[in-house]
Amino acid sequence: MTLLTMLAVVVIAILRQRSLFGVVILSGIYSFLIASVLIALDAVDVALTEASVGAGMSLVLLLSTLHLVKTSEIKPWRSNLLPLATAFVVGAAVVWATLSLPPFGSPDAPIHKHVGPRYLQKSIEETGVPNVVTSVLADYRSFDTLGETTVIFTAGIGVMLLLRGRRKRGAK
């Protein structure tokens, strides 16, 4: 609960922060907090991923970008009303949707009754892997993971395509 509250505080800080460097560092803090929350929620694999991929890698990339663009100040806000309204409508929609959901941590929720349990019961028998997240990731739903690897591949080639080669001033 404390962690969750801290998350909210960090987001407010990011909102108000005018220095770009500050924003980037805060986003790193944010990622590590999320990773801690995820551990509390039993999602250790996800937490490790968020800490390495989310916090580590995107922080490195953000800082490299800052180094390249050499801008540190953010201009003051633009008109606020429309974005604020949009964001709140989305939030309200989720509130409305989640109020009727099963309470937190209840074992009777539908997701614990269908599909999920089979992985827990059969993982060792069928795949010999006790870490169920790994067996689902790399076997039961391994096609998703192939897609995910392809996403990384796409981003890698894409970024190199954009950043490699001689730079040309705006062609026009």
Partner 1 sequence: MKFDLILRIGTKLILPFILLFALYVQFHGDYGPGGGFQAGVIAAAMVILMSLTFGINTAQRVAPRAMVERMVPLGVLIYAGTGVAGLLMGRNFLDYSVLGHGAHARELGIFLVEAGVLVTVAGTMCSLYYAFVERGR
Partner 2 sequence: MEAVHTLINHYNYVITIFLMVGGLYIVIARGNMVKKLVGLSIFQTSVYLLFISPAKILGGTAPILDPAYSVYSNPLPHVLILTAIVVGVATIALGLALTVRINEAYGTIDEDEVLEKDPEP
Partner 3 sequence: MSQLIAQLPALQVVVPLLGAVLVAFCRGGRTAYFVSLLVSLLMPVVSGLLLWQAIIAGPISYHLGGWQPPWGIEYHIDVFNGLVLMMVSAVGALVMPFAWRSVADEIDEDKQAWFYCMYLLCLTGLLGIAATGDAFNAFVFLEISSLSAYVLIALGRDRRALLAAFRYLIMGTIGATFYVIGIGLLYVVTGSLNIVDIGSRIAGAAAVYPHAVIAALAFITVGLGLKLALFPLHVWLPNAYTYAPSVVTAFMAATATKVAIYLLARFAFGVFGQAFDFRTLPVADIILVLSVAAMFVAAFVAISETDLKRMLAYSSVSQIGYITLGIGIANKPGLTGSIVHLVNHAMMKGALFLALGAVVYRIGSARLSDLAGIGRRMPWTMTAFTIAGFGLIGTPGTVGFISKWYLVAGAFAAGQWVLVFLIVGSSLLALVYVGRAVEVIWFRDTGPAAARATDPPPSMLAPILLLMAAVVYFGVETSLTAGIAERAAALLLGGLP
Cα separation of 123 and 110, whole Å? Answer: 20
Q: Pick from 19, 60, 64, 112: which binds partner 3 (CB under 8 A)?
A: 112
Nearer to partner 3, 74 or 102 (CB): 102
Residues 22 to 81: which contact partner 2 by CB under 8 A? Answer: 23-24, 27, 30-31, 34, 37-38, 41-46, 49-50, 53-54, 57-58, 61-62, 64-66, 68-69, 71, 74-75, 77-78, 80
Cα separation of 11 and 27, whole Å? Answer: 8
Site string for partner 2, 101-140 (x = CB under 8 A): xxxxxxx-x-xx--xx--xx--xx-----xxxx--xx---
Cα separation of 57 and 5, whole Å? Answer: 25
Classified as helix, coil or strand, 69 is helix
Contacts of 72 (CB under 8 A, 6+ apart): 19, 20, 21, 66
**Could you list the residues that contact partner 3 (CB under 8 A)?**
93-94, 96-102, 109-116, 118-119, 139-144, 146-148, 150-151, 153-155, 157-158, 160-162, 165, 170-172
